[in-house]
């Protein structure tokens, strides 16, 4: 594998309050990296830093050698299109159909014809198991379907990296497992690098090549490795987190 993202000495926070500091790690092309830790440890905040949506207090995020937070604004905007994001609640436009939600990024940034864009949107919907839902309104969809639409939209610009923020949150175990299968399929069929924010221990062990643990007490990362290695040999707080989560699952 080759390094796609490099985080160096990253510190996150606002108003003088530090959420997490001294974050240094790589994301390899084609891997599924899980960001895990207790509530409030900074998982979603880290994800937003990794895609350039929030400015670090210190440190850098490099994408293939380019700094995601410093440079010409137009060049940075183009650079950030290498990332697709699914936010926790789905963030679909309720006044738009499913198809219109998917077409929006293409209409903003793609030179494709309308016919080609519609075909691409329908293909992405088929990829996430939602064939025939192009003309549906978000209000008619279940929670699991909304998350699948949001994942499909995150893929519309053929990103190198897809960031998923708690995709299984609020779903029953069956639909959560289906989302895990979908994440694995994205990597297998599209070669997509996936950064997954989750507190679901089932997802961590089902999909992660590696998992990064953010410690809310120490306010830094304390481990990054395969889930099984962390469970067997990781720092005590990491092992406690994984063992407790397994017991509560």
Beta pairing, strands 220-225 & 210-215? antiparallel
Using CB atoms within 10 Å of the CB of residue 132, give its burial: 0 to 12 exposed, 13 to 18 middle, 19+ buried.
Answer: exposed
Per-residue confidence (pLDDT) for residue 125, from 0 to 100: 92
Per-residue confidence (pLDDT) for residue 3, from 0 to 100: 93
Torsion angle in degrees (nearest 10) through CA of 54, 55, 61, 66:
100
Per-residue confidence (pLDDT) for residue 71, from 0 to 100: 87
237 is written with which tokens? 């707080």
Strand partners, 203: none
Query: Kindly report the CA angle at 189 between 184 and 190, in degrees rounded to 5?
Result: 100
Q: Which domain holds residue 138?
A: 3-248
Phi-psi bin for 164: left (phi > 0), alpha (psi -120 to 50), beta? beta
> How many domains does the chain divide into?
1
Q: How many CB atoms lie within 10 A of CB 248?
A: 7
Q: What is the enclosing helix (H) or strand (E) of 81? A: none
Per-residue confidence (pLDDT) for residue 101, from 0 to 100: 92
The residue to which tokens 């490795």 are assigned: 225
Rounded CA-CA distance 29/148 in Å is 23
Per-residue confidence (pLDDT) for residue 167, from 0 to 100: 85
Per-residue confidence (pLDDT) for residue 191, from 0 to 100: 86
Please list the rounded mean pLDDT of every run of 10 residues in the chain (249 residues).
92 90 96 92 93 93 93 90 84 88 90 91 90 91 87 92 87 82 86 91 92 95 95 93 69
190 is written with which tokens? 């599209």
Domain harbouring 44, CATH code: 3.40.50.300
Among 33, 65, 30, CA closest to 46: 33
Torsion angle in degrees (nearest 10) through CA of 15, 19, 23, 26:
-100
Per-residue confidence (pLDDT) for residue 190, from 0 to 100: 84
Rounded CA-CA distance 121/100 in Å is 9
Strand partners, 239: none
């Amino acid at each position: 594998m080759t390094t796609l993202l490099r985080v160096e000495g990253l510190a996150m926070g606002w108003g003088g309050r530090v959420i997490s500091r001294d974050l240094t790690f790589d994301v390899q092309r084609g891997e599924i990296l899980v960001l895990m830790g207790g509530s409030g440890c900074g998982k979603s905040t880290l994800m937003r830093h990794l895609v350039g949506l929030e400015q670090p207090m210190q440190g850098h995020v490099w994408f293939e050698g380019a700094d995601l937070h410093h440079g010409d604004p137009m060049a940075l905007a183009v650079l950030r299109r290498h990332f697709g994001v699914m936010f926790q609640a789905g963030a679909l436009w309720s006044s738009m159909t499913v198809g219109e939600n998917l077409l929006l990024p293409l209409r903003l940034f793609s030179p494709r014809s309308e016919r080609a864009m519609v075909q691409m949107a329908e293909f992405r919907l088929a990829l996430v198991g939602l064939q025939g839902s192009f003309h549906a309104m978000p209000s008619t969809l279940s929670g699991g379907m909304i998350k699948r639409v949001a994942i499909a939209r995150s893929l519309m610009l053929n990103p190198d990296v897809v960031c998923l923020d708690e995709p299984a949150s609020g779903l029953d175990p069956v639909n959560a497992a289906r989302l895990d299968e979908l994440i694995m399929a994205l990597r297998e069929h599209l070669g997509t690098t996936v950064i997954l924010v989750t507190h679901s221990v089932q997802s961590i062990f089902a999909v992660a090549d590696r998992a990064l643990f953010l410690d809310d007490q120490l306010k830094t990362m304390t481990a990054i490795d395969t889930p099984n290695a962390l469970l067997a040999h990781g720092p005590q707080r990491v092992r406690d987190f994984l063992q407790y989560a397994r017991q509560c699952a």
